[in-house]
Structure 1
Amino acid sequence: MFMRSTTEQTIISVSTKMTAGGGVTAVGSGVAGKTLRITTENPEIANNAMAWADIGVICGIVIGLAGFIVQVVVAYRRDRRETIFHRQRMSIRDSGNES
Protein backbone atom coordinates (compact mmCIF):
# COMPACT_ATOMS: atom_id res chain seq x y z
CA MET A 1 0.00 0.00 0.00
CA PHE A 2 2.89 2.39 0.74
CA MET A 3 4.28 2.14 -2.80
CA ARG A 4 0.89 2.86 -4.33
CA SER A 5 0.49 5.88 -2.11
CA THR A 6 3.94 7.20 -3.06
CA THR A 7 3.22 6.67 -6.75
CA GLU A 8 -0.14 8.34 -6.38
CA GLN A 9 1.36 11.34 -4.62
CA THR A 10 3.99 11.67 -7.36
CA ILE A 11 1.33 11.60 -10.07
CA ILE A 12 -0.75 14.20 -8.24
CA SER A 13 2.29 16.44 -7.78
CA VAL A 14 3.31 16.24 -11.44
CA SER A 15 -0.23 16.77 -12.72
CA THR A 16 -0.68 19.80 -10.45
CA LYS A 17 2.49 21.30 -11.89
CA MET A 18 1.26 20.47 -15.41
CA THR A 19 -1.99 22.32 -14.78
CA ALA A 20 -0.22 25.38 -13.40
CA GLY A 21 2.44 25.30 -16.12
CA GLY A 22 -0.19 25.03 -18.83
CA GLY A 23 -2.01 28.06 -17.47
CA VAL A 24 1.18 30.09 -17.23
CA THR A 25 2.18 29.06 -20.76
CA ALA A 26 -1.20 30.05 -22.18
CA VAL A 27 -1.25 33.45 -20.48
CA GLY A 28 2.44 34.14 -21.13
CA SER A 29 2.18 33.27 -24.79
CA GLY A 30 -0.86 35.47 -25.25
CA VAL A 31 0.71 38.43 -23.49
CA ALA A 32 4.05 38.05 -25.30
CA GLY A 33 2.39 37.81 -28.70
CA LYS A 34 0.18 40.80 -28.07
CA THR A 35 3.10 42.85 -26.74
CA LEU A 36 5.31 42.01 -29.70
CA ARG A 37 2.50 42.81 -32.11
CA ILE A 38 1.98 46.23 -30.53
CA THR A 39 5.66 47.14 -30.30
CA THR A 40 6.90 46.00 -33.70
CA GLU A 41 6.52 48.10 -36.80
CA ASN A 42 7.04 45.27 -39.28
CA PRO A 43 3.62 43.72 -40.09
CA GLU A 44 5.17 40.39 -41.12
CA ILE A 45 6.84 40.00 -37.73
CA ALA A 46 3.62 41.04 -36.01
CA ASN A 47 1.59 38.40 -37.85
CA ASN A 48 4.19 35.70 -37.14
CA ALA A 49 4.27 36.70 -33.48
CA MET A 50 0.52 36.32 -33.19
CA ALA A 51 0.62 32.95 -34.95
CA TRP A 52 3.25 31.67 -32.50
CA ALA A 53 1.34 33.19 -29.60
CA ASP A 54 -1.81 31.37 -30.71
CA ILE A 55 0.09 28.08 -30.84
CA GLY A 56 1.50 28.75 -27.38
CA VAL A 57 -1.94 29.51 -25.97
CA ILE A 58 -3.43 26.35 -27.47
CA CYS A 59 -0.55 24.21 -26.18
CA GLY A 60 -0.88 25.78 -22.73
CA ILE A 61 -4.58 25.04 -22.62
CA VAL A 62 -4.04 21.43 -23.73
CA ILE A 63 -1.30 20.88 -21.13
CA GLY A 64 -3.44 22.46 -18.41
CA LEU A 65 -6.46 20.33 -19.29
CA ALA A 66 -4.34 17.17 -19.41
CA GLY A 67 -3.01 17.89 -15.92
CA PHE A 68 -6.51 18.55 -14.62
CA ILE A 69 -7.90 15.35 -16.15
CA VAL A 70 -5.09 13.31 -14.58
CA GLN A 71 -5.91 14.84 -11.19
CA VAL A 72 -9.60 13.98 -11.53
CA VAL A 73 -8.89 10.39 -12.58
CA VAL A 74 -6.42 9.83 -9.72
CA ALA A 75 -8.86 11.30 -7.18
CA TYR A 76 -11.68 9.09 -8.49
CA ARG A 77 -9.55 5.95 -8.35
CA ARG A 78 -8.32 6.78 -4.83
CA ASP A 79 -11.87 7.37 -3.62
CA ARG A 80 -13.07 4.11 -5.15
CA ARG A 81 -10.16 2.17 -3.61
CA GLU A 82 -10.68 3.74 -0.18
CA THR A 83 -14.42 2.98 -0.32
CA ILE A 84 -13.71 -0.69 -1.02
CA PHE A 85 -11.12 -0.81 1.78
CA HIS A 86 -13.56 0.83 4.20
CA ARG A 87 -16.34 -1.63 3.34
CA GLN A 88 -13.97 -4.55 3.90
CA ARG A 89 -12.90 -3.19 7.29
CA MET A 90 -16.53 -2.65 8.31
CA SER A 91 -17.51 -6.18 7.26
CA ILE A 92 -14.62 -7.62 9.28
CA ARG A 93 -15.61 -5.50 12.26
CA ASP A 94 -19.28 -6.49 11.95
CA SER A 95 -18.44 -10.20 11.60
CA GLY A 96 -16.34 -9.97 14.78
CA ASN A 97 -19.25 -8.49 16.75
CA GLU A 98 -21.62 -11.28 15.75
CA SER A 99 -19.47 -14.04 17.28
Structure 2
Amino acid sequence: MSISNGIGNLQGLSNPVTPASATVQTGKEEQIKSSVSLAPGAVKTTPVTDQTVISSTSELLTRALSGSDVRLDKIQPLQAAIAAGTYQVSSSDLADKLITSLLK
Protein backbone atom coordinates (compact mmCIF):
# COMPACT_ATOMS: atom_id res chain seq x y z
CA MET A 1 0.00 0.00 0.00
CA SER A 2 1.32 3.40 -0.97
CA ILE A 3 0.15 6.83 0.18
CA SER A 4 1.18 9.85 -1.86
CA ASN A 5 0.48 13.46 -0.93
CA GLY A 6 2.24 15.14 -3.86
CA ILE A 7 5.03 16.58 -1.73
CA GLY A 8 7.48 13.72 -2.25
CA ASN A 9 8.63 14.87 -5.71
CA LEU A 10 10.65 18.01 -4.89
CA GLN A 11 13.40 17.42 -7.45
CA GLY A 12 11.45 19.35 -10.10
CA LEU A 13 11.78 22.64 -8.26
CA SER A 14 14.43 24.98 -9.61
CA ASN A 15 14.72 27.00 -6.37
CA PRO A 16 14.01 24.77 -3.37
CA VAL A 17 13.66 26.43 0.03
CA THR A 18 16.49 25.43 2.33
CA PRO A 19 16.69 26.13 6.04
CA ALA A 20 19.01 28.98 7.03
CA SER A 21 21.06 26.64 9.21
CA ALA A 22 21.86 24.42 6.18
CA THR A 23 23.48 27.20 4.14
CA VAL A 24 26.88 28.74 4.66
CA GLN A 25 26.49 32.44 5.26
CA THR A 26 29.46 34.46 4.10
CA GLY A 27 28.16 38.03 4.10
CA LYS A 28 25.16 40.19 4.84
CA GLU A 29 23.81 39.82 1.30
CA GLU A 30 24.16 36.04 1.52
CA GLN A 31 22.33 36.03 4.87
CA ILE A 32 19.41 37.90 3.37
CA LYS A 33 19.27 35.62 0.33
CA SER A 34 19.41 32.45 2.42
CA SER A 35 16.78 33.58 4.92
CA VAL A 36 14.27 34.67 2.26
CA SER A 37 13.92 32.26 -0.63
CA LEU A 38 11.05 32.83 -3.03
CA ALA A 39 9.46 30.24 -5.27
CA PRO A 40 9.73 30.90 -9.02
CA GLY A 41 7.18 33.51 -10.11
CA ALA A 42 6.51 34.65 -6.54
CA VAL A 43 6.23 38.37 -5.86
CA LYS A 44 8.06 39.84 -2.90
CA THR A 45 5.85 42.21 -0.93
CA THR A 46 6.76 44.81 1.65
CA PRO A 47 5.42 44.35 5.17
CA VAL A 48 2.41 46.38 6.27
CA THR A 49 3.17 48.98 8.94
CA ASP A 50 0.85 50.22 11.68
CA GLN A 51 -0.33 53.82 11.69
CA THR A 52 -1.96 56.02 14.29
CA VAL A 53 -4.33 58.78 13.28
CA ILE A 54 -5.47 61.31 15.86
CA SER A 55 -8.91 62.73 15.17
CA SER A 56 -10.04 66.32 15.59
CA THR A 57 -12.10 65.22 18.61
CA SER A 58 -8.95 64.24 20.46
CA GLU A 59 -7.41 67.61 19.63
CA LEU A 60 -10.43 69.37 21.17
CA LEU A 61 -10.23 67.11 24.21
CA THR A 62 -6.53 67.88 24.63
CA ARG A 63 -7.22 71.62 24.51
CA ALA A 64 -10.04 71.30 27.06
CA LEU A 65 -7.92 69.28 29.47
CA SER A 66 -4.89 71.54 29.18
CA GLY A 67 -6.94 74.62 30.03
CA SER A 68 -7.16 75.95 33.55
CA ASP A 69 -10.19 75.55 35.82
CA VAL A 70 -9.41 78.91 37.41
CA ARG A 71 -11.99 81.62 36.74
CA LEU A 72 -9.97 84.82 36.96
CA ASP A 73 -13.11 87.01 36.91
CA LYS A 74 -14.03 85.57 40.34
CA ILE A 75 -10.53 85.36 41.82
CA GLN A 76 -9.17 88.81 41.01
CA PRO A 77 -11.76 90.77 43.11
CA LEU A 78 -11.20 88.38 46.05
CA GLN A 79 -7.42 88.79 45.82
CA ALA A 80 -7.80 92.56 45.75
CA ALA A 81 -10.14 92.52 48.81
CA ILE A 82 -7.75 90.26 50.78
CA ALA A 83 -4.75 92.43 49.83
CA ALA A 84 -6.63 95.60 50.91
CA GLY A 85 -7.77 93.96 54.15
CA THR A 86 -11.46 94.49 53.36
CA TYR A 87 -12.43 90.83 52.90
CA GLN A 88 -14.70 89.69 55.75
CA VAL A 89 -15.57 86.07 56.52
CA SER A 90 -18.75 85.23 58.45
CA SER A 91 -17.88 83.27 61.59
CA SER A 92 -20.98 81.05 61.22
CA ASP A 93 -20.03 80.23 57.60
CA LEU A 94 -16.49 79.36 58.72
CA ALA A 95 -17.83 77.13 61.53
CA ASP A 96 -20.22 75.34 59.15
CA LYS A 97 -17.41 74.63 56.67
CA LEU A 98 -15.07 73.37 59.42
CA ILE A 99 -17.68 70.99 60.85
CA THR A 100 -18.68 69.71 57.41
CA SER A 101 -15.07 68.99 56.45
CA LEU A 102 -14.39 67.20 59.77
CA LEU A 103 -17.45 64.95 59.40
CA LYS A 104 -16.41 63.65 55.97
Shorter-chain TM-score bucket reads under 0.3
Greater helix proportion: 1
Q: What TM-score, normalized to structure 2?
A: 0.26
Q: Which has the higher contact order (CA 8 A, sep 6+)?
A: 1
Q: What TM-score, normalized to structure 1?
A: 0.27
Largest Rg, 1 or 2: 2
